[in-house]
Amino acid sequence: MSDDKTTHFGYQEVPVKEKASRVRAVFDSVATRYDLMNDLMSLGIHRLWKRRTIELAGVRRGQRVLDLAAGTGDLAEQFARIVGADGGVVMSDINQAMLAQGRERLVDAGIVGNLDYVLADAETLPFAGNSFDCVTIGFGLRNVTHKQYALNEICRVLRPGGRALILEFSHPTTKPLAKAYDLYSFSVLPNLGRLVAGDADSYRYLAESIRMHPDQETLRSMMEQAGFERCEFVNLTGGIVAIHRGYKL
C-alpha cells in the first residue's frame, strides 16, 4: 500500500474504497466456472492442498468452525461432515455469487442442518468474540484490502485454544520453480481463463494478486501481530502454496 488512500489491485494502484468492488466483479465473472477452473489450473492438486488444511485444522465432532472466503464450499463441506449434528459450520464469503454457488453445491451434496451461510467482509466479521473453535480462509486473504484487519478479526472471534489456518498461494522456494511458475501464471493462466471462463483479465488479476501477497515469513509475523501464538507454516508444492497456522491462547 503506497499510502492510506490507495492499495494494490493486482499490479495496479487503486483507491482503497474501490478494491472490494473490483474483487467482487472478478468473482462475479468467474463464479459459475470456478470449480472447473480450479481443477484445470492446478491439475487437481488444489484438492490435496485442501485435504492437508483439513488435517492440520484438527477439527473434532461438536466444534464450531468458520470458513471465510468459502467460495463454493470445499472446506466447509468437509468440516460439516466432521463436526456432525452436534457441531456447526458457518460458510462465509463477501461475494454473493460465490456464496450462492457454494450453497447450491452443498445442498446438492446433502449438507444441511449444521451449516449456515453468511455474506460478510473478513475485515469486519458480524460474530461475537470467542465464538469459534477454528477459523479457516482458503485462497482468500490475498484479496482482502486490509489483511491485518482480517487477521485481527479472525483472532477476535476464535475461542481461547482455537486455531486459525490460512491456505494461500505463496512464494516458491527455488529460483527455477519461481521462473517456471511465472511463465505459467502470466502466459498459460490468462489464456486458460479466456478459453474456459471467457475472462482472461480476471485470471491475470489472480496471478498478479498472488505476487503481491506477503511471503511466508511476513504473513507469519502479521499473524503474531494479530495476537496469535505458536505460528508456523507448511510449504506445499515447493512453496507455490503455504498453510499458516496459529493459536489463540
Q: What is the pLDDT of residues 54-112, one digit of tens each?
A: 999 999 999 999 999 998 999 999 999 999 999 999 999 999 999 999 999 999 999 99
Assess if residue 227 is contained within a domain: yes
Q: Which domain holds residue 35?
A: 20-173+204-247
In the prediction, which pLDDT does 223 show? 98
Give the mean pLDDT of the chain: 92
Assess if residue 55 is contained within a domain: yes
In the prediction, which pLDDT does 155 show? 98
Assess if residue 198 is contained within a domain: no
* DSSP conformational letter for 187: I
pLDDT for 2 beyond 50: no
More confident residue, 47 or 189: 47
Rank 13-17, 41-45, 218-222 by mean pLDDT and report only the highest.
218-222
Query: What's the rounded Cα separation, in Å, for the pair 36 and 147?
Result: 28
Q: pTM score, two decimals?
A: 0.90
In the prediction, which pLDDT does 4 show? 62
Query: What's the rounded Cα separation, in Å, for the pair 183 and 220?
Result: 27
Assess if residue 152 is contained within a domain: yes
Using DSSP, state whether 227 is helix, strand or coil: coil
Is 213 within 8 Å of 144 (Cβ atoms)?
Answer: no
Residue-wise pLDDT tens digits, 211-237: 999 999 999 999 999 999 999 999 999
Assess if residue 195 is contained within a domain: no
- What CATH number has the domain bearing residue 152? 3.40.50.150
CA triple 75-18-11, angle to 5 deg:
75
Assess if residue 194 is contained within a domain: no
pLDDT for 210 beyond 50: yes
Assess if residue 131 is contained within a domain: yes
Percent of the chain with pLDDT over 90: 71
192 pLDDT band, cuts 50/70/90, is confident
Assess if residue 185 is contained within a domain: no
Alpha carbon separation from 39 to 26, 78, 87, 103, 120 (Å, rounded) = 18, 18, 30, 19, 26
More confident residue, 9 or 2: 9
Q: Confirm whether residue 121 is marked as ligand binding.
A: yes
Query: What's the rounded Cα separation, in Å, for the pair 116 and 130?
Result: 18
Q: Confirm whether residue 122 is marked as ligand binding.
A: yes
In the prediction, which pLDDT does 1 show? 40
Domain total in the chain? 1
Give the range among 73-77, 129-133, 197-201 with minimum mean pLDDT.
197-201
